[in-house]
């Protein structure tokens, strides 16, 4: 099934696209692939990809994006006592020394949820971006997901076996997070929220995550050309379509790009952007609680060096940093009680819950080859904060202009 999906995904651009040879402004600032993580909460909601382009595309652009991320977080339970006195008592202890005996809601009232995540999540995105005015463009993005066990050869770099080989032979130590203890290359994806709703996915489950509309405005300032400094402002609407979170999200973003041109036509681009998303502005049905923080704020920075060939093509090498705000409200860390398999796992048994209360960050290395009619990008994303959601993620993106 995975093989057939990949063949279809990458065959689309070669079917019935226009053969016009009209010139276009192809190297348009930093035009990264969509690099949103395969976070097990994030895949059910909209998230904003920062835009570091200099100006709107002059032609309609079709973008095909494929990503593979290894998500692993052992089973962990959480109690959040309701009694203020109990909360105060627990807040005096470091989190892993807290004791709380939950009997029932009447005797010891508390909220409860549990989570276990073990899967390699595949993301497929199709995006169509087109100019709608001289300084405006609109993007329409459809995202979908496939839950897999990470077996070879479809997940070579993101497989459990590859990651544990790296830990055993290069860095990290032997099985630092318990993957071998629970079993390699398997699917265990289940989350029970604090309202008793259950989100469960099995091997080879496929679903449409949602549809996103992204509008960007590129204002003109006097220093745009003199200082090679450019800005754009975005407004974003996400319609989530999965049965777990049928809802609407809205957000805004701001981005800045600085370009340095060299005599040999090579260039260095430096960019930064920030955004904020309001989740679940409208719920169409009962939804899973994907974090009680209603806003997701993000910051992203990018630096890219571009070297042109004698034929006018280019090779670009980029480094990207992303950080996103926490999914749950930090105040709960003062009194939550976590239960997990801490005796048999060296470290990280609590990550499934504790990492919902801290900002999530990652670094990506990106390579792009561009020529007149298309561009191809490859990236690898690493989580250095030991979030494991995902631990490592790889992606490939193909873009071509369509129409006249």
Q: What confidence score (pLDDT) does residue 234 get?
A: 97
- pLDDT of 200 reads 97
**Distance separating alpha carbons of residues 333 and 312, to the nearest angstrom:** 54
pLDDT attached to residue 173: 67
The answer to whether residue 3 scores a pLDDT higher than 60 is no
Percent of the chain surpassing pLDDT 90: 68
Q: How confident is the model at residue 15 (pLDDT cuts 50, 70, 90)?
A: very low
For tokens 């279809």, the residue is: 8
Q: How confident is the model at residue 177 (pLDDT cuts 50, 70, 90)?
A: confident
pLDDT at 264: 82
Query: Of the candidates 3, 5, 12, 7, which has an alpha carbon nearest to the alpha carbon of residue 398?
Result: 12
Give me the mean pLDDT over the 308-321 stretch.
Answer: 92
**The pLDDT of residue 221:** 85
- Dihedral sign (CA 388, 380, 256, 212): negative
Contact 167, 184 (CB under 8 A): no
Give CA–CA dist 103/296, Å, rounded.
Answer: 34
H helix count then E strand count, the chain: 6, 15
Task: Work out whether the CA dihedral 88, 95, 327, 385 comes out positive or negative.
Answer: positive
pLDDT band of residue 161 (cuts 50, 70, 90) is confident
Rounded distance, CA 8 to CA 23, Å? Answer: 28
Residue 259 to residue 261: CA distance in whole angstroms: 6
Q: Answer yes or no: are the C-beta atoms of 195 and 176 closer than 8 Å.
A: no
Amino acid 196: pLDDT: 94
- Give the residue-averaged pLDDT of 340-358: 84
Q: Is the dihedral of CA 246, 122, 185, 352 positive or negative?
A: negative
Model confidence at 276, in pLDDT bands (50, 70, 90)? very high
| pTM for this entry | 0.88
Q: Report the CATH number at residue 88.
A: 2.40.160.40
pLDDT at 21 (0 to 100): 37
Q: What is the pLDDT of residue 27?
A: 83
Nearest to 398 by CA among 29, 61, 111: 61
pLDDT digits (tens, 9 = 90+) for 68-103: 999 999 999 999 999 999 999 999 999 989 988 888
Instruction: Quickly state the pLDDT bin for 60 (edges 50, 70, 90).
Output: very high
The three-state secondary structure class of 331 is: helix
Taking only the tens place, the pLDDT of each residue in 115-141 is 999 999 999 999 999 999 999 999 999
CA distances from 146 to 8, 143, 208, 379 (A): 14, 11, 9, 19
Find the mean pLDDT for residues 164-193.
81
Task: Tell me the residue ranges of DSSP E strands in 264-326.
Answer: 267-283, 295-308, 314-324
Per-residue pLDDT at 170: 79
Question: What's the structural domain count of the chain?
Answer: 1
**What are the tens digits of pLDDT across the range 95-112?**
989 988 888 787 889 999
Domain of residue 7, residue span: 2-19+26-402
In this predicted structure, which of 169-178, 217-226, 291-300, 350-359 has the lowest mean pLDDT? 169-178
Q: Residue 175, preceding bond cis, omega within 30 degrees?
A: no
């Amino acid at each position: 099934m995975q093989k057939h999906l990949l063949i279809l995904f990458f065959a689309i651009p070669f079917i019935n696209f226009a053969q016009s040879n009209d010139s276009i402004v192809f190297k348009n600032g930093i035009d990264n692939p969509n690099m949103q993580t395969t976070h097990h909460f994030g895949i059910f909601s909209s998230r904003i990809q920062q835009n570091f382009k200099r100006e709107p595309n002059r032609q309609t652009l079709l973008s095909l994006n494929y990503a593979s991320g290894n998500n692993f977080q052992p089973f962990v339970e959480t109690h959040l006592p309701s009694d203020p006195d109990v909360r105060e008592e627990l807040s005096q202890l470091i989190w892993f020394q807290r004791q709380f005996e939950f009997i029932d809601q009447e005797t010891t009232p508390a909220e409860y949820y549990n989570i276990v995540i073990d899967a390699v999540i595949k993301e497929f995105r199709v995006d169509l971006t087109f100019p709608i005015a001289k300084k405006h463009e609109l993007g329409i993005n459809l995202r979908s997901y496939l839950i897999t066990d990470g077996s070879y050869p479809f997940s070579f770099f993101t497989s459990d076996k590859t990651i544990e080989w790296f830990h055993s032979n290069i860095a990290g130590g032997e099985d630092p997070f318990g993957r071998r203890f629970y079993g390699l290359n398997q699917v265990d994806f289940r989350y029970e929220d604090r309202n008793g709703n259950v989100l469960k996915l099995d091997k080879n489950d496929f679903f449409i995550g949602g549809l996103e509309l992204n509008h960007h405005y590129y204002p003109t300032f006097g220093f745009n050309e003199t200082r090679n400094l450019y800005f754009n402002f975005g407004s974003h609407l996400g319609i989530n379509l999965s049965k777990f979170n049928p809802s609407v999200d809205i957000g805004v973003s701001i981005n800045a790009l600085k370009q340095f041109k060299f005599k040999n036509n090579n260039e260095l681009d430096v960019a930064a952007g920030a955004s904020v998303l309001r989740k679940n502005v409208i719920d169409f049905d009962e939804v899973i609680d994907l974090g009680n923080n209603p806003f997701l704020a993000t910051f992203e920075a990018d630096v890219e060096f571009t070297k042109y060939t004698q034929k006018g093509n280019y090779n670009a090498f980029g480094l990207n940093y992303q950080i996103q705000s926490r999914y749950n409200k930090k105040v709960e860390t003062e009194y939550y009680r976590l239960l997990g398999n801490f005796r048999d796992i060296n470290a990280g048994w609590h990550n499934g819950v504790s990492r919902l209360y801290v900002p999530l960050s990652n670094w990506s290395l990106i390579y792009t080859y561009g020529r007149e009619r298309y561009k191809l990008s490859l990236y690898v994303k690493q989580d250095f904060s030991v979030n494991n959601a995902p631990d490592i993620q790889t992606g490939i993106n193909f873009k071509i202009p369509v129409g006249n």
